[in-house]
Structure 1
């Protein structure tokens, strides 16, 4: 009888076992769905309302949500890197220690609007929450044209209003001629006005949005005159600057005490 060498047989069996083991591991790995951690946006604390095919944040971006963004991304704003953001005192002046965290150089409340952020920083914050900045056309449509099917008393669907608050600017916070609100800036911090109020602490205006007029200017992505259009005016100005005909633009790299922003998202049916 011919003798067989058992070693090659055993070697082949071992190789087969090893190959089978790695095939099973590969199959198991492929059966699991890939991680979606990087594609799922973090939830914002700001309530939204649908206007047409767009979900709008009802208030301006808050310090609370920027804190969430900053912790997750190790974000340091340009104003912080520069030693402070800007205010206007016969010209733009840098204020040491003024930033989105401390808009007037002192600790701020989480529900204050986030200011001292340039347009690219604002876009990054919105993107983190799965949103974006509006265009000027989107902003003006939401601010001045009532689009709710069941608009509350005082508003009529399809009507274009002179102010983001409706027929008058009284729901808003501005320098004078608006509602009875007092800003949060410490005494002596500003040479004009009282600063912003908490986001959402005024009254709702057209389409149920807060502070589309007054409080702080809001960035849009629409370019104009070498900068980006800002809308809605702020506590620095009277109600006349809240109107649709008032088109202001600022350099995209400016970070100033009276410019904030609001995020929007395309609704699922529009994607």
Structure 2
């Protein structure tokens, strides 16, 4: 498989410390998931079962679609390493996070990180302690929704507007798995590029079967920090707020 890189990849892999835990600055990317696959030999269900799902006349399986080729590119075609890894069910996302030394965030953690500015000295215009109406601040502008924006489908990591706590794509781009359970279902949050900005709101959630995977669902990881964990030293942001 061939990947090509993007300038914003410097942000990928950053962990943003929020007290005694941290969260990925971006959604887990194809490039990150590729390293996990090489290390573990993982073959995902979408690959084994004939392709991932997209919504058409109901949920339709798309042959050849997987985390490797989210929109079904031919084998060997160039794939952006900084696109979000999708077509992964809850267990597959959870397994990656454990391999990376973390876990999936709870719904409450995700919401706190996405809407309330927790950094000790955030850059302007962010205000410590303020809870914002959108993950991008006072408006959804700059997020990847179905409204007018430069991205027809998923956006690469770091391309959209940086939001609360210096995070990217906590709203829109792709839904994200959390660890919250309701029977056999797990909570996804944030909305995706397929929806309008409304689905970015804090009170919007969607429980999905834990064994479901689709082009619209990705994830990011959370990490429990020890008191002297080096990750507790925040990195200055090099991109716009």
For the criterion TM > 0.5, the same-fold answer is: yes
Match of 1:145 among 86, 102, 116: 116
Is structure 2 residue 17 aligned with structure 1 residue 50? yes
Summarize deviations over 1:93-144 as a string: whole Å, max 9, x none. Answer: 0000000000001142111100000000001111111111100010000001
8 A contact 1:171–1:205 mirrored in 2? no
For the 8 Å contact 1:131–1:264, the answer to whether it is kept is yes
Q: C-alpha distance in 1, partners of 2:18/2:162?
A: 14
Q: What runs of 5+ residues in structure 1 fail to find an aligned partner?
A: 1-43, 183-193
In the alignment, the residues of structure 1 paired with residue 187 and residue 42 of structure 2 have an alpha-carbon distance, to the nearest angstrom, of: 25
Equivalent residue, structure 1, for 2:239: none
Cα distance in 2 for residues equivalent to 1:150 and 1:104: 40
For each residue in 1:164-222, what CA deviation from the matched residue of structure 2 results, as whole angstroms up to 9, or x when unmatched? Answer: 11110113111005xx322xxxxxxxxxxx21010121121001000001100000000
Residue matched to 2:30: 63
- Alignment partner, residue 133 of structure 1: 104
SS of residue in 2 equivalent to 1:127: helix
**Over aligned residue pairs, what C-alpha RMSD do you find?**
1.6
| Contact kept in structure 2, 1:172 and 1:213, CA below 8 Å | yes
Indicate conservation of the 8 Å contact 1:53/1:270, yes or no. Answer: no
Residues of 2 paired with 1:254 and 1:98: CA distance? 14
Higher relative contact order (CA 8 A, sep 6+): 2
Larger Rg: 1
1:77 maps to what in 2? 44
In the TM superposition, 1:225-244 aligns within 5 A as 226-244=184-202
Give 1 or 2: higher helix fraction: 1
Aligned mates of 2:50, 2:84 — CA distance in 1 = 20
**TM-score, length-normalised on structure 2?**
0.85
Q: 1:270 to 1:262 in 2, by over 3 A?
A: farther
Q: Are residue 203 (structure 1) and residue 164 (structure 2) matched?
A: no
Task: Give the TM-score normalised by structure 1.
Answer: 0.76
Runs of 4+ in 1 over 4 A off after TM superposition: none
2:142 equivalent to 1:171: yes
Asked if residue 258 in structure 1 is aligned to residue 241 in structure 2, the reply is no
**Runs of at least 5 residues in structure 2 that lack an aligned partner in the other structure:** 1-10, 230-241
Residue 215 to residue 45, structure 1, CA distance change in 2 (3 Å): closer
